[in-house]
Amino acid sequence: MKPIPVSFHLGPLVVHTYGIGLAITFWFGYRYLARRLRSRGYPDDWLGGVFLWVIVMAVIGARALHVLANLGYYTAQPGQVLAIWHGGLSSFGGILFALPTGLVLARRRCPQLSIGALTDLVTPVLMAAWAMGRLLGPQLMVAGGGHPTHQWFGMYYAGQAGKRLPVPIFQAAEDFTIFVLLIGLERRLARTPDGRPRRGSPAGAIVGTGMVLWGVERYFDEHLWLARNGHLGSVLVQAAGIALAVAGLVVLAFTWSRWKAWQAAGCPQPAAPGAEATETTAPVPAGEELRARSVAEGPLPDTLRSPAATASPRAVHAPRPG
């Protein structure tokens, strides 16, 4: 059985399926995040420019961490350092570079969108994009499989001998499951137990849950299906997975304390996203408004003056006693 093709030719041009898969995944992530922003009342006209920077930093960070984790190989073959079309992008490296970039730029371009609300909006998008990216990325790249296997579900991958565990397919199923769980939690938190919409609740539950689940997933994926004994990259991935899960638990604990404080305060409701505060002023009496206009614009026409102002002096003074 032949491995999955990792490239094809368009005339003299060599097109790598891995790159096409990444491009489709980034496009999907952009469109889905824009839709989630609009559905919650936030503008999305700022997202395009920010997303381009996020993509650039994600690719740089993902490749840099992958090269560092496999420094021995790339020291012997420095010409392969930039060959990302063969695969070799670290998810944790992409997050490490892209997340701070996206948060800083988003706060500048859309000040009404808080960091907590943004991360809760982005987390399901990341999980859906990773589920798609596993199928369109590692599944279509050189050496994309896991440990050797003789099971019926084993697959052949370019650059790897024999049947391999289809780890990208496993990860896509895991990531999609996490995505479904996060969307279910999001909808559950969006309403009170009696079905009324809930607004103003503290953010953090979605991102914290996503951090825990995805950190645990990455640890066990690496430990069970991908790890190589003594390999620095495998050790770093497992350590990063544990660290991410622990950090997610911290976020959830902090969010829980904020929820309790919010409920104790009577569940205050904030203004709608992007709405500008308006001041309430007392109505100005008609006479006062006319006097203000006369000061600013000069004497008023007779037709706008009050009868008392246009009457003759004899009409306004009481008659003298005889």
For the packed helices 115-136 and 91-109, what is the interaxial angle rounded to 10 degrees? 140
Higher pLDDT: 106 or 266? It is 106
Q: Decide if 109 is inside a domain.
A: yes
Query: Residue 93 is which amino acid?
Result: G
The answer to whether position 286 is within a domain reads no
| Domain-embedded: residue 246 | yes
* End-to-end alpha carbon distance in the chain: 129
| pLDDT number for residue 298 | 52
pLDDT band at 65 (very low <50, low <70, confident <90, very high): confident
Does the pLDDT of residue 312 top 80, yes or no?
no
Would you state the pLDDT for residue 280? 40
Residue 249 lies in a domain: yes
Alpha carbons 55 and 26: distance in angstroms, whole number: 8
- Fill in the DSSP letter of residue 267: -
With 60 as the cut, is the pLDDT of residue 154 above it?
yes
Residue 310 tokens, joined = 């246009």
pLDDT above 80 (res 78) = yes
- Does a structural domain hold residue 226? yes
Which position has the higher pLDDT, 21 or 172? 172
Collapsing DSSP to helix, strand or coil, 148 comes out as strand
- C-alpha atoms less than 13 angstroms from C-alpha of 184 in its C-beta half-sphere: 6
User: What total number of domains does the chain contain?
Assistant: 1
pTM over 0.85? The answer is no
154 belongs to a structural domain? yes
On whether residue 278 sits in a domain, the answer given is: no
| 226-264 residue pLDDT tens | 877 767 778 888 999 999 999 999 999 999 999 999 989
Categorize the per-residue pLDDT at 38 as very low, low, confident or very high, splitting at 50, 70 and 90: very high
Q: What is the mean pLDDT of residues 284-309?
A: 49
- In a domain, residue 285? The reply is no
Domain that holds residue 219: 7-264
The pLDDT of residue 277? 39
Bridge partners (DSSP) listed for residue 197: 191
